[in-house]
Amino acid sequence: MKFFWIVSILLLGPGLGSAVRASAVRFRTVETTYRAETSRPQKTIDGVDANPDQGWSVAPEVAKPQAAVFTARQAVVAERLRISLCFLSGVHNAHFREFVISGTSDPNPSLSGNWEPLAPWQVYSTGTKLEVLEGSRMLSSGDAFNTVFVVEILGFPRRLTGMRLDVLTTDQAQRDQPEVGGSEQGDFTLTEFRVEAFDAETTNAALGRPAKASHKNWGGFRPEFLTDGLAATFTHPRAPNLGEEFHFEIDFGRVLNLDHLALRNRGDGLVPERLSRITLKLYESAPEAESQPVWEGRHRADGSYPHPGEVDVVRAGQGKGSFRGRYLRISSDSPIGYSPQLAEVEAYESLAPELDAVRADGVQLEVAAQTRPPQGTRWLAFSMNPSIPGLPAGIPLRWRLRGYHQEWKAVSSDRLAEVACPPPGTYTFEAQLGHTDGLWNERILQCVIVVPKPWWQWRWVQFAAAAGLAAGVAWTVRFVARRRLARQVAELERSRGLDAERARIARDMHDVVGSRLTQLTVLHEIFSAEHALGPEAAGSLHRLNATAREAVAALDEVVWAINPRNDTLANVADYLCHCATEYFRPLEIACRLDAPAEWAPLQVRAQIRHQILLAFKEALQNVLKHAAATEVTLTLRFEAPEMVVFLEDNGRGIPKDPAGTEKDGLSNMRERLQSVGGICRVSPRTEGGTCVEMRVKI
């Protein structure tokens, strides 16, 4: 097992070395509790390993614990430290026997400041044996003229401003009292204190952190294997049936707000079912018997388990409480023996980038809860903090302007996100960091961006414009309505005046011209009665009388046409029926009438009435002259919006090629109705005779 442990250490060095960058830590001052008169503690930080009699020594105060504080020129931010303590004075055993290394984040480190012991991850030395005792104490043993101690530390507080060496007294053989050093005088000579900082390319905060188990582990499978960064190492309890009595505990070194935990299963395929029914507990302070965790979760409580080498991710939602803490305890109540078994435990802190600046067309804006770029801005630029302390360089960072585009975009190497200014509205700039295990952090940087509307889109401006437009439209509508009403009133007055004039003309024609023509016919009759006339003169007088009577009838038709009292659909229908009846009565031609008893109360303009009447009389005349009919049927209908007239006879029908007056009569009917927007169709009847159809829009 010792061989396996040595091989693991050898493997671990290259494994971490491939993922880290080393840099020397420079110190500016050294403060000691005591120094020998000939010693020069400042020489321990000059970069020269061998300084005979010029380092730090404390003779003759060798029976008291001593301490030295080394103040860094600038704060140390790293994942791992390698500390080299050089004792190259050429004096036999002039090195520490027992000592502790501590660190601080105080702005001005001092012997009376706040110090936290740094737990060694691994130690080795030349010429002597160096081992880690309980806690952070280290002990050297063996004889050597010149020796170098090397101490590697993982998982210390991320920002160190100084380091401290506490040299403790130890009992030594053949000595009367404990002493701090191993030389004959009980002294030591520290010739060089050198520190190298390694930046690990990982966000795993558990890497290299101290781990322990409540009971012994199997063979040489140490608890530290859980945080050694090697997937090939694993560990589990030595006893097969401890159940929840057994637990692993990992100290993160400080309280972490966690994003997720990662549990890696053993990778060689042997008994992978030992990673099941896991209980995880987080504590902010060192757990004691009555301590309550701040977060507790169950993982794979159903008895399932990950495949060999598979990594399970645990997030806050899988448990209850606040997902934060310094100490993580892992246990299992699985019935599978030797549970829990893990290869690696990783802890990833909740991270979010810092918004350094927001610029609108190159002008920096104040970063607030709501940032408002000036009106007319064309480009927005968001600058994220390029160096987040303690994080490896080059970790992924992505962004989006939610509400404008939903897809994530990678940030360029200069940590600058640029986007064309979106339309007026409210948007949220979001940025998200990724972890080195390939997962994106759940916590997201958010900044609300309010792009203002141009003045013509302001609500009150739009309201005023709408009110003005409404007022303008109302005024225009009122003006147009008044003008239209005025025109309608004028038209009505004109129409009333025209109707009055038509009524006067009709009355005058009837009273004056009609009475004169009637008087003329009466005089003709008296003259023929009082005077004996010859046959020729009597015939001429009879024809003159007939012409006068026809003139009276024609005058009646004209008077009917221009009289405004007849401008109704019902009067038109009645007059057409009257004309047809009176026209065929002396000729012994039967006339059948088919018309509604009630008509729609519609007005018919005088011009339409006149043209309908003339076309209708032309149709009556055609029946009389050309049809040789014995029966005529007149059908009247109103098929909105048209008045329909059907005049059917049982005569001999329409000749194939009508000529003369018959052809002219048909053309006259069509032209008269077309002049008022109507139509006239003449067609043969199936049972014989002719049908004249007239349609006029009313």
CATH number where 146 lies: 2.60.120.260
Query: Over 470-529, what HEC string results?
Result: HHHHHHHHHHHHHHHHHHHHHHHHHHHHHHHHHHHHHHHHHHHHHHHHHHHHHHHHHHHH
607-614: average pLDDT: 86
Q: Are residues 178 and 36 in the same domain?
A: yes
Q: How far is CA 304 from the centre of its chain?
A: 38
Judge whether 628 and 651 are in contact, CB under 8 Å.
yes
Q: Residue with structure tokens 């012409």?
A: 547
Is there a single domain that holds both residue 427 and residue 496?
Answer: no
CA gap 80, 226 in Å, rounded: 17
Residue 288 has pLDDT above 80, yes or no: yes
Q: Is the pLDDT of residue 277 over 80?
A: yes
pLDDT at residue 568 in the model: 87
The mean of the pLDDT values for the chain is 85
pLDDT at residue 9, as a whole number: 38
Mean pLDDT on 459-470: 85
- Dist CA 149 CA 48 (whole Å): 15
Tell me: pLDDT of 449 over 90. Answer: yes
Mean pLDDT score, 293-299: 96
Residue 678 lies in a domain: yes
Query: Residue 42: CB partners within 8 Å, gap ≥ 6?
Result: 29, 30
Residue after which a domain boundary falls, among 172, 200, 228: 200
Residue for token digits 């997902």?
A: 323
pLDDT of 3:
34
Mark whether 150 and 234 lie in a shared domain.
Answer: no
* pLDDT average, residue stretch 425-454: 92
pLDDT digits (tens, 9 = 90+) for 210-251: 899 999 999 878 898 999 888 888 999 999 999 999 999 999
**Does 494 have pLDDT greater than 90?**
no
Q: Is residue 5 part of a domain?
A: no
Residue 8 lies in a domain: no
> Among 382-396, 596-610, 628-642, which is the least confidently predicted range?
382-396
Per-residue pLDDT of 549-578, as tens digits, reads 667 666 666 667 666 777 788 888 898 998
Same domain, 378 and 428: yes
Question: Is the model more confident about 293 or about 556?
Answer: 293
**Does residue 382 share a domain with residue 423?**
yes
* Calculated CA dihedral for residues 170, 171, 174, 175, nearest 10 degrees: 70
Final residue in a domain of this structure, among 349, 371, 400: 349
pLDDT band (50, 70, 90) for residue 159: confident
Provide the pLDDT for residue 319.
96
Q: Which of 283-287, 523-527, 578-582 has the highest mean pLDDT?
A: 283-287
Is 604 in the same domain as 655? yes
Number of domains in the chain: 5
Lowest-pLDDT range of 4-18, 195-209, 464-478, 642-656: 4-18
Q: Is the pLDDT of residue 483 over 50?
A: yes
Q: Are 15 and 229 in contact (CB under 8 A)?
A: yes
pLDDT for 611 beyond 50: yes
Residue 1, pLDDT > 60, answer no
Q: Which of 176, 178, 251 is nearest to 212 (CA)?
A: 251
pLDDT of residue 16: 40
**Assigned token pair, 649:** 């006879």
Task: Compute CA 631 distance to the chain's CA centroid, rounded to the nearest angstrom.
Answer: 84
11 domain residue, yes or no: no
Is the domain of 182 the same as that of 64?
yes
Same domain, 610 and 692: yes
User: Rounded CA gap, 188 and 52, in Å?
Assistant: 12
Same domain (yes/no): 133, 42: yes
Whether 52 is in a domain gets the answer yes
Is the pLDDT at 122 greater than 90? The verdict is no
Residue 246 counted as domain residue: yes
Q: What is the pTM of this model?
A: 0.52
- Summarised one tens digit per residue, pLDDT across range 350-409 is 988 888 899 999 999 988 888 999 988 999 999 987 556 667 777 889 999 999 988 999
Round to whole Å and give the CA distance between 552 and 540. 18
pLDDT at 8: 38
Rounded to an integer, the average pLDDT of 665-674 is 87
pLDDT of the residue at 605:
84
Same domain for 184 and 216, yes or no, is: no
Q: Are residues 317 and 377 in the same domain?
A: no
What is the residue whose two structure tokens read 């960091």?
433
Residues in the chain, overall count = 698
**Residue 1 domain-assigned (yes or no):** no
* Structure confidence at residue 269 (pLDDT): 85
Residue after which a domain boundary falls, among 329, 349, 369: 349
Residue 438 maps to which CATH number? 2.60.40.10
Confidence (pLDDT) at 466: 87
* Residue range(s) defining the domain that contains residue 379: 357-454
pLDDT value for 12: 39
Residues 31 and 100 in one domain: yes
Q: Tell me, yes or no, whether 215 lies in a domain.
A: yes
